[in-house]
């Protein structure tokens, strides 16, 4: 199975600070069809995960544009440009290029 | 409006069969391209994809659990089911169903305990 390694495991930020989360894959996530099936989820405390970014950099409908995704191959980054209180929770990367889908270990975003 | 809701037994004993139901509205699983997945999350841990079924009735399983999993859907295409046989303590988790990754249910907590 593809292993996704997220760093850092915990991130402390102040409101308004910009932060980045890294997701590294054990294999290239470029599919033979040209798509890269790497997505980002946010799980707020006590809630189900929600989709933020799909296909590396596409913003899910309704998600604020302070969230952005980038990367290719095996290295991907989620950036939050100006953290807000509602952004606190655990972020997961997930890949769907290689079966089975696999998830990263998560990055917990806390208030400093 | 797309909604999904999981239901299950809450608690069951080791070696029993876990049966879960995902009831959804706002879309039909008979529509081309639709896929419903089951994903679980032990408390405080990351997520694990278990199985999926698509609009054409094709089924997909996590190889690590395939021998214990059965996913199915009802004929009205408004419910998806998951059965896990021979459960043990390691199967204790919150179980989610999700339409692709952009719509998730609230999750149902399942505890395996004697």
Centre a 10 Å sphere on the Cβ of residue A19 and count the other Cβ atoms it contains.
19
Across B53-78, b (16+ Cβ under 10 Å) vs e yields bbbeeeebbbeebeebbebebeeebb
| Span A73-88, average pLDDT | 97
| Span A39-62, average pLDDT | 98
- Cβ atoms of B2 and B24 closer than 8 Å: yes
Facing B101 at nearest CB: one of A94, A99, A102? A94
- Cβ atoms of B76 and B69 closer than 8 Å: no
User: Per the CB < 8 Å rule, is A54 touching B101?
Assistant: yes
Give the distance, in angstroms, between the CA of residue A28 and the centroid of all CA atoms in the same chain.
Answer: 16
The residue in chain A having the minimum alpha-carbon distance to the alpha carbon of residue B100 is A51
Residues B2-58 pLDDT 10s? 999 999 999 999 999 999 999 999 999 999 999 999 999 999 999 999 999 999 999
Chain A CB contacts of B49 below 8 Å: 100-103
Identify the three-state secondary structure at position B66. helix
| Span B85-108, average pLDDT | 97
Q: How far apart are CA B106 and CA A46, in angstroms?
A: 10
Quote the pLDDT of residue B75: 85
């Amino acid at each position: 199975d593809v292993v996704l390694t997220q760093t850092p495991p915990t991130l402390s930020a102040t409101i308004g600070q910009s932060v980045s989360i890294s997701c590294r894959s054990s294999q290239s996530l470029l599919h033979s069809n040209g798509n890269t099936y790497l997505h980002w989820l946010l799980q707020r405390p006590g809630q189900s995960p929600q989709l933020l970014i799909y296909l590396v950099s596409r913003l899910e409908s309704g998600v604020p544009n302070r969230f952005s995704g980038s990367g290719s191959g095996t290295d991907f980054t989620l950036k939050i440009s100006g953290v807000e209180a509602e952004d606190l929770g655990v972020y997961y990367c997930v890949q769907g290029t290689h079966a089975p889908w696999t998830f990263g270990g998560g990055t917990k975003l806390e208030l400093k | 409006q797309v909604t999904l809701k999981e239901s299950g037994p809450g608690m069951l004993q080791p070696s029993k069969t876990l049966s879960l139901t995902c009831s959804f509205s706002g879309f039909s699983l008979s529509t081309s391209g639709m896929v419903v997945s089951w994903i679980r999350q032990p408390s405080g841990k990351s997520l694990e994809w278990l199985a999926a079924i698509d609009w054409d009735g094709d089924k997909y399983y996590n190889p690590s659990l395939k021998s214990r999993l059965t996913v199915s859907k009802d004929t009205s295409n408004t419910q998806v089911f998951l059965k896990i046989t021979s459960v043990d303590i390691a199967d204790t988790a919150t179980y989610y169903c999700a339409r692709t990754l952009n719509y998730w249910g609230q999750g149902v907590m399942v505890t395996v305990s004697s």
